[in-house]
Amino acid sequence: MTLAPSSADLQQPVVRVQGLRILFPSLDGSDTVKAVDGVDFEIRPAETFGIIGESGSGKSTIGRALVGLLDATEGVVELDGRTLNSVPRRERRTARQAYQIVFQDPHAALNPRMTLMESLTEPLRIRGGVSEDEMRRKAQDSMERVGLRAEMLGRYPHELSGGQKQRANIARLLPLNPRLIVCDEVVAALDVSIRGEVLNLFADLQRDFGIAYAFIAHDIAVVAQVSDRIAVTYLGRFMEVGPAEAVTERPLHPYTTALLSAEPRPLPAHLREARRIDLKGEIPSPVDPPSGCRFRTRCPWAQARCAAEVPEWRELRPDHYVACHFATPHGIEAPPAAGEHD
């Protein structure tokens, strides 16, 4: 079985995350790393939900929690209206197969000692209930669907290019009828020339099968290109979530503006002067994040209030949310206050 919804609740989100916290012990075991520290969001059917933010901001940890590779320390991850824990134990493995992750390293997911045919039929063999002929036919269909020739099924991973491997990784998921695929830096390791092809493949599969994606990447231009909405993550929290175009062209949060300012590509004209922010210093430790607004130690607009109060999550434009005391639909209200930094 899968957790696929009935036709009566097709509008139900594929993913609903509430109050998610994921804590790890620090390396020496004496402290707690707050990798994800209170995030709420939904991913809608056939939607691409982009997640951006600097290294260490918690993107991959969120992605792993969505597919059940990590348990929430606190909070709830609901997939098609149910938590995986609520699925009877014997059905859990099958249920989990509808929620998959593809990583940056296309080599890692394919077993080097298995032919592609073996790799592609393995998930169905584990699930059981499918004849050998049916599995082989599904493997051939999947290969064709991702633009690989069926004759390649006899090959081993080392006989494929990086782009072909990433296509094979995707082909491996299709017989599982995925509802959600978490894409964690899926094109980062690929040549720029084949990135577009792989991104187009993801878009085609979404159109044809209604798959929802959580799309995690450092490259903001890529995330902006493929996403319907974008979440901007900083130190385990969301700073801003909204429609992709609005977030990247008319950001509400100073951190988003700073991330965009750090982009090597030219910014849209209206962002180039007044709203440019240089992102200074390092991201603070997730063991002991700043009080109040986590971005305050690097924010040129930080005021005393920013250290004292956690900013509320406010909808300033339709479907566009921000966590900043001074954000308005038109920009930041507070004057720069350099002296307020710690």
What residue ranges bind ligand SF4 (CB under 6 A)? 254, 293, 295-296, 299, 301-302, 306, 311, 324-326, 334
Q: Which is nearer to ligand ATP, 186 or 332 (CB)?
A: 186
CB of residue 166 to ligand ATP, shortest distance in Å:
17
> Which CB sits closer to ligand SF4, 88 or 335?
335
Q: Does 156 bind ligand ATP (CB under 6 A)?
A: no
Nearer to Mg ion, 60 or 166 (CB): 60
In the complex with ligand ATP, which residue's Cβ is closer, 60 or 164? 60
Site string for ligand ATP, 49-68 (x = CB under 6 A): ----x-xxxxxxx-------
The binder of ligand ATP chosen from 175, 286, 289, 290 (CB under 6 A): 286
Residue with tokens 């974008």: 230
Q: Which does 55 bind (CB under 5 to 8 A by kind): ligand SF4, Mg ion, ligand ATP, none?
A: ligand ATP
User: Which residues bind to Mg ion, rule: CB under 5 A?
Assistant: 60
Shortest separation between residue 304's beta carbon and Mg ion, angstroms = 34
Assign 3-class secondary structure to the chain. CCCCCCHHHCCCCCEEEEEEEEEEECCCCCCEEEEEEEEEEEECCCCEEEEECCCCCCHHHHHHHHCCCCCCCEEEEEECCECHHHCCHHHHHHHHCCEEEECCCHHHHCCCCCCHHHHHHHHHHHHCCCCHHHHHHHHHHHHHHCCCCHHHHHCCHHHCCHHHHHHHHHHHHHHHCCCEEEEECCCCCCCHHHHHHHHHHHHHHHHHHCCEEEEECCCHHHHHHHCCEEEEEECCEEEEEEEHHHHHHCCCCHHHHHHHHCCCCCCCHHHHCCCCCCCCCCCCCCCCCCCCCCCHHHCCCCCHHHHHCCCCCEEEECCEEECCCCEECCEECCCCCHHHCC
R_g of the chain computed on alpha carbons? 21
- Identify which of 11, 39, 51 has the alpha carbon closest to the alpha carbon of residue 226: 51
Residue 293 binds which entry of ligand ATP, Mg ion, ligand SF4, none, CB below 5-8 Å type-dependent: ligand SF4
Residue 275 C-beta: closest distance to ligand ATP, Å: 24
Q: Which two tokens stand for residue 25?
A: 């012990």
60 vs 233 by CB, closer to Mg ion: 60
58 binds, among ligand ATP, ligand SF4, Mg ion, none (CB under 5 to 8 A by kind): ligand ATP
Residue 105 vs 141, nearer CB to Mg ion: 105
Q: Which is nearer to ligand ATP, 37 or 340 (CB)?
A: 37
What is the spatial distance between Cα 11 and Cα 26, in angstroms, rounded to a whole number? 40
How far apart are the C-alpha atoms of 160 and 152, rounded to whole Å?
A: 9
Applying CB under 6 A, the site for ligand ATP has a residue count of 12
| Least distance between ligand SF4 and beta carbon 301 (Å) | 4
Give which of ligand SF4, ligand ATP, Mg ion, none residue 33 binds (C-beta under 5 to 8 Å, depending on kind).
Answer: ligand ATP
Residue closer to ligand ATP, measured from CB, 33 or 212? 33
Report the site for ligand ATP in 15-44 (rule: CB under 6 A): 24, 33, 35
User: Which residues of this protein are in contact with ligand ATP, per CB under 6 A?
Assistant: 24, 33, 35, 53, 55-61, 286
